[in-house]
């Protein structure tokens, strides 16, 4: 079997570490030193317990807060952290990453690979590192204990794209050792312009702000919060996302279709699918998927690192995004935070001042 480094010990990182260890791979699990408590129980028992659709115990080879030992001589590195931590992860990795290593963001959210690449350069690493990203987390999962994860679903397919784009076949060959679900995307247009979290989470959180604050999340966010009217606004957000892609000559997949592709769902509308999905809500998941406050990642991550880069790229391409812009403004006021400036701006992605053809060239080749 092969070695792999998993950077991040939250819901997704622990699931990746446990699952791949169960499959017989040698896994190194890293967490930021300031979150060392995330590793204490995992160190104590030597790995991660999984339950749900995947049952078992994965014995993790190395559990550490030292980034140098986590990624030394490791060819494949998976970053499994929230989008707001991508820049910080690039900072800690920058002094240690070597040429020919592959860094895969799981997921990249919206143009995460661009920000990671730009951040590496900013922190002094200009080596030929291949940065890749997936369009989503491979697992539907949530920790229910310090070293235990409930796995609700393992996705059927998962696109991966790279910067530079022409290296994707080499990357897929490496990644298929770990997951057969990975398949090559032509570029990060496909992975970043199909970020469903940015479409579904912010609008539902903002339009259910009263419920979230008064009940502390004690309601079924998907099955109850995604009413027909909420889903109509969601469809407008999805249309704007598709329009940004069209301006870059990329045809985005609708959120409805991608949900069907990922999970095999059936339904004719977003409302029909999202309010019946057992992966997201209902008797098993229910209130577990509901944010307990408006500062939960559905807003604090998916607005600045999902909607903001869509809107920013839209402005650079003269594509109007009024529904996205409204949600960014409302979210900023609700949480008294300027998500526009704190989010993934054109400057942070290395796209500031670039025209359409220049943006396309940079995304495909990694060179301006």
pLDDT at 196: 87
Say yes or no to pLDDT of 24 above 80.
yes
pLDDT at 51: 95
pLDDT in tens, 70-120: 999 999 999 999 999 999 999 999 999 999 899 999 999 899 999 999 999
pLDDT in tens, 348-357: 999 999 999 9
Say yes or no to pLDDT of 1 above 70.
no
Rounded CA separation 335/6 (Å): 31
Say yes or no to pLDDT of 362 above 70.
yes
| Residue 309: half-sphere exposure toward Cβ, Cα within 13 Å | 28
CA angle 103, 41, 13 (to 5 degrees): 20
Q: Among 86, 201, 271, 280, which one carries the catalytic annotation?
A: 201
Query: Which part of the chain has CATH 3.40.50.720?
Result: 3-192
Whole-prediction pTM: 0.88
Residue 302 designated active-site: yes
Instruction: Find out whether 71 and 4 touch, Cβ atoms under 8 Å.
Output: no
Query: Which part of the chain has CATH 1.10.1040.10?
Result: 196-365
Say yes or no to pLDDT of 301 above 80.
yes
Instruction: Find out whether 9 and 38 touch, Cβ atoms under 8 Å.
Output: yes
Instruction: Find out whether 95 and 125 touch, Cβ atoms under 8 Å.
Output: yes
pLDDT in tens, 30-62: 999 999 999 999 999 999 999 999 999 999 999
| The CA-based dihedral angle spanning residues 315, 320, 324, 326, taken in that order and rounded to the nearest 10 degrees | 100
Residue 357 designated active-site: no
E strands within the chain? 3-7, 26-30, 47-52, 56-59, 62-64, 76-79, 102-105, 130-134, 139-145, 148-154, 158-163, 182-184
Nearest CA to 302 out of 233, 201, 193, 170 is that of: 201
Rounded CA separation 299/234 (Å): 14
Binned at pLDDT 50, 70 and 90, residue 282 comes out as confident
Q: What percent of the chain has pLDDT over 70?
A: 100
Per the structure block, which two tokens stand in for 56? 């078992």
Structure-token match 């115990």, residue found: 57
Average model confidence (pLDDT) for the chain? 94
Nearest CA to 133 out of 99, 168, 157 is that of: 168
pLDDT at 285: 80
**Beta-strand relationship, 76-79 and 102-105:** parallel
Question: Would you call 131 helix, strand, or coil by DSSP?
Answer: strand
Question: Which CATH code fits 196-365?
Answer: 1.10.1040.10
Q: Among 220, 238, 302, 325, which one carries the catalytic annotation?
A: 302
Nearest CA to 18 out of 73, 61, 78 is that of: 61
**Beta pairing partners, 58:** 48
What is the helix, strand, coil percentage profile of the chain, to 5?
Answer: 45, 15, 35
Per the structure block, which two tokens stand in for 88? 């910080």
pLDDT in tens, 211-242: 999 999 899 999 999 999 999 999 999 999 99
Question: Would you call 8 helix, strand, or coil by DSSP?
Answer: coil
- In CATH terms, the fold of domain 3-192 is Rossmann fold (3.40.50)
Task: Average the pLDDT over each of 81-90, 166-175, 280-289 and give the range with the smallest value.
Answer: 280-289
């Amino acid at each position: 079997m092969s070695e792999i480094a998993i950077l991040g010990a939250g819901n997704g990182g622990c699931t990746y570490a446990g699952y791949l260890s169960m499959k017989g791979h040698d896994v190194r699990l890293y967490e930021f030193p300031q979150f060392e408590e995330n590793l204490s129980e995992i160190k104590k028992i030597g790995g991660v317990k999984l339950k749900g659709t995947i049952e078992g115990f994965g014995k993790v080879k190395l559990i550490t807060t030292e980034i140098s030992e986590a990624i030394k001589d490791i060819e494949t590195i998976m970053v499994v952290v929230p989008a707001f931590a991508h820049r910080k992860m690039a900072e800690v990795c920058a002094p240690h990453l070597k040429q020919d290593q592959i860094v895969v963001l799981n997921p990249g959210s919206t143009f995460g690979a661009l920000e990671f690449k730009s951040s590496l350069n900013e922190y002094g690493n200009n080596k030929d590192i291949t940065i890749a990203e997936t369009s989503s987390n491979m697992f539907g999962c949530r920790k229910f204990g310090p070293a235990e994860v409930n796995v609700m679903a393992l996705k059927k397919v998962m696109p991966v794209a790279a910067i530079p784009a022409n290296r994707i076949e080499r990357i897929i060959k490496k990644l298929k050792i770990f997951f057969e679900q990975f398949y090559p995307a032509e570029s990060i247009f496909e992975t970043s312009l199909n970020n469903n979290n940015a479409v579904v989470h912010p609008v539902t959180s903002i339009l259910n702000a009263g419920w979230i604050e008064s009940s502390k999340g004690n309601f079924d966010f998907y099955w109850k919060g995604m009413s027909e009217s909420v889903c109509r606004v969601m469809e407008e957000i999805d249309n704007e996302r598709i329009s940004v892609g069209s301006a870059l000559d990329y045809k985005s997949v609708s959120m409805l279709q991608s949900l069907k592709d990922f999970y095999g769902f059936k339904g004719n509308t977003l409302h029909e699918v999202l309010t019946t999905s057992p992966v997201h809500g209902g008797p098993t998941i229910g209130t577990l998927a509901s944010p307990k406050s408006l500062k939960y990642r559905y807003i604090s991550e998916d607005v600045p690192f999902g909607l903001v880069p869509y809107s920013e790229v839209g402005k650079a391409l003269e594509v109007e995004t009024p529904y996205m812009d409204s949600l960014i403004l409302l979210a900023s006021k609700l949480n008294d935070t300027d998500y526009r400036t704190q989010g993934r701006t054109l400057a942070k992605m290395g796209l500031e001042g670039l025209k359409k053809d220049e943006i396309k060239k940079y995304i495909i080749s990694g060179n301006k």
